[in-house]
């Protein structure tokens, strides 16, 4: 599933039973901000202690509670559960609503969707850029509100231009919200807890969108314009309901305010205008020096991650077209492969993300995902020309390998995107990284069609090479960064 539509099933994720120190300190910080008396806080903490099902073994509810023990994560999980339910509804009915109800041609639908994606490229960076300068909490609330209202506005779309304008607005504010959310995670958590938060939210997103897709299927079954419109309204309302969670975010998710430059005063007590201007200019140069656009290593990571991120396009476009055009497998297998992917992502994203805040671990899992994805491309290709049963078996094997490649690549990418970012401009860095994924998503249909779909086995082999090179490039960045970090620590210890 794509990183922005982090999708799918009804199974619960396997969540981390351990509450790390970062989450514990966050709870204490939020408790200090509250007005409740210490006794009440102590009682609440006692009540929240895990309930075990056996000697020393916490039960499922206790493990779930421990994994979302941080108050910020609980709020984000609650908002995600609600809003992504609406996203699942909308994704299910979008294309058919445009074609059957609005009356757009397939070409016009393609333009609408591509325009929304292109708008998201710009908004991905803008959301992070703004989160460094304004309240990330207020930005996320604003972006989510506008997106929810825009989704509801689709029921008034009666022609191509109206649908295009609404789609661009949705694309802008959806990706802006995603980057702002990433900036919030970068600031509200540290180390392993940041990757854990991303993994939990991705698992929750998959579950919610899968459930929402089930509701969206109701419109497909009923088939009337009213059914489509009511479900789209419901999808928008889900976004707006999620705001009741987001307003509870604490102030620590916002970027610290930039310190004002003090006026330079002469010995006689007068303000030295020239020196003050120089000080202001120096502060601005220092701020620009923290820009992600000046960080060549991070930009290379972003480019390679965007290239590897095209593997989502393989799942969403390449595999369905390959199955229907080149294999003997029935089309229903597409849904089966989707369920397999979703189940693996939901069950394994959290546990397989542990430790990827460590640069070496992040590099290692990125390398494994590169080899897995390259092998996956060749296995998909092998399904062509086989008898039905063998084709199905080969496709299932490929889907399993693909899902684990997806899980590992996301885990490694999150760890590196956080650990290699300059904390001074956390929002800008996350915005650049998200923009890279948006560009990759925009290019994926063209690349997949020009390789695997147009040239068969040879095209799949080219795709395999692309994924292998980009994934191993990410591993190289991680290993190089780890060596530099070790050298810096050793130098500091020697000086001390």
**Predicted local confidence at residue 348, as pLDDT:** 93
What's the Cα-to-Cα distance from 115 to each of 148, 166, 218, rounded to whole Å? 18, 10, 28
**CA distance from start to end of the chain:** 49
pTM above 0.85, yes or no: no
Give residue-wise pLDDT tens across range 358-380. 999 999 999 999 999 999 999 99
**Predicted local confidence at residue 352, as pLDDT:** 92
The mean predicted confidence, pLDDT, of the chain is 82
Whole-number percent of the chain with pLDDT over 70: 79
Report the distance separating Cα 419 and Cα 413, nearest Å.
10
Give residue-wise pLDDT tens across range 265-299. 666 667 666 666 656 666 666 666 678 888 999 99
343 has pLDDT over 80? yes
35 has pLDDT over 60? no
Highest-confidence segment of 48-62, 263-277, 312-326? 312-326
**pLDDT confidence of 3, banded at 50, 70, 90?**
very low
CA angle 329, 331, 332 (to 5 degrees): 105
DSSP 131-169: HTTS-HHHHHHHHHHHHHHHHHHGGG--SHHHHHHHHHH
Give residue-wise pLDDT tens across range 219-244. 778 878 888 899 999 999 999 999 99
């Amino acid at each position: 599933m794509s990183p922005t539509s982090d999708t799918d099933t009804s199974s619960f994720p396997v969540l981390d039973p351990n509450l790390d120190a970062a989450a514990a300190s966050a709870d204490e910080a939020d408790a200090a901000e509250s007005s409740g008396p210490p006794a009440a806080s102590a009682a609440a903490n006692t009540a929240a202690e895990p309930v075990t099902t056996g000697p020393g073994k916490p039960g499922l509810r206790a493990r779930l509670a421990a994994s979302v023990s941080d108050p910020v994560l609980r709020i984000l999980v609650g908002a995600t559960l609600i809003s992504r339910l609406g996203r699942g509804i909308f994704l299910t009915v979008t294309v058919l609503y445009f074609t059957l109800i609005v009356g757009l041609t397939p070409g016009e639908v393609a333009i609408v969707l591509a325009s929304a994606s292109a708008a998201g490229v710009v908004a991905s960076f803008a959301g992070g850029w703004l989160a460094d300068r304004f309240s990330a909490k207020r930005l996320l609330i604003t972006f989510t509100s506008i997106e929810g209202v825009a989704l509801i506005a689709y029921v008034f779309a009666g022609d191509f231009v109206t649908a295009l304008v609404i789609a661009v607005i949705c694309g802008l504010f959806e990706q802006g919200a995603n980057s702002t959310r990433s900036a919030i995670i970068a600031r509200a958590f540290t180390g392993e807890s940041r990757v854990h938060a991303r993994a939990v939210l991705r698992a929750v997103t998959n579950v919610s969108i899968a459930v929402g897709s089930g509701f969206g299927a109701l419109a497909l079954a009923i088939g009337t314009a009213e059914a489509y419109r009511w479900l789209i309204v419901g999808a928008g309302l889900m976004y707006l309901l999620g705001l009741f969670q987001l307003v509870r975010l604490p102030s620590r998710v916002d970027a610290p305010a930039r310190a004002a430059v003090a006026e330079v005063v002469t010995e006689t007590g007068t303000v030295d205008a020239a020196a003050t201007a120089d000080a202001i200019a120096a502060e601005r140069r220092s701020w620009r020096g923290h820009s992600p656009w000046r960080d060549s290593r991070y930009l290379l990571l972003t480019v390679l991650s965007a290239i590897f991120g095209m593997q989502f396009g393989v799942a969403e476009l390449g595999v369905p077209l390959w199955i229907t055009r080149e294999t003997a497998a029935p089309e229903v297998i597409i849904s089966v492969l989707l369920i397999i992917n979703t189940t693996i992502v939901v069950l394994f994203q959290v546990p397989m993300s542990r430790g990827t805040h460590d640069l070496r671990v992040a590099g290692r899992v990125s390398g494994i995902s590169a080899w897995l994805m390259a092998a996956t491309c060749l296995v998909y290709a092998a399904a062509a020309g086989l008898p039905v049963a063998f084709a199905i078996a080969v496709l299932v094997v490929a889907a399993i390998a693909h899902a684990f490649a997806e899980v590992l690549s996301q885990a490694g990418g999150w760890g590196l995107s956080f650990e290699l970012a300059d904390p001074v401009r956390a929002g800008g860095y996350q915005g650049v990284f998200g923009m890279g994924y948006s560009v990759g998503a925009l290019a994926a249909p063209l690349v997949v069609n020009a390789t695997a779909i147009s040239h068969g086995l040879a095209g799949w082999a080219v795709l395999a090479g692309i994924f292998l090179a980009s994934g191993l490039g990410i591993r190289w960045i991680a290993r190089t960064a780890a060596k530099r970090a070790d050298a810096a620590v050793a130098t500091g210890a020697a000086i001390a």
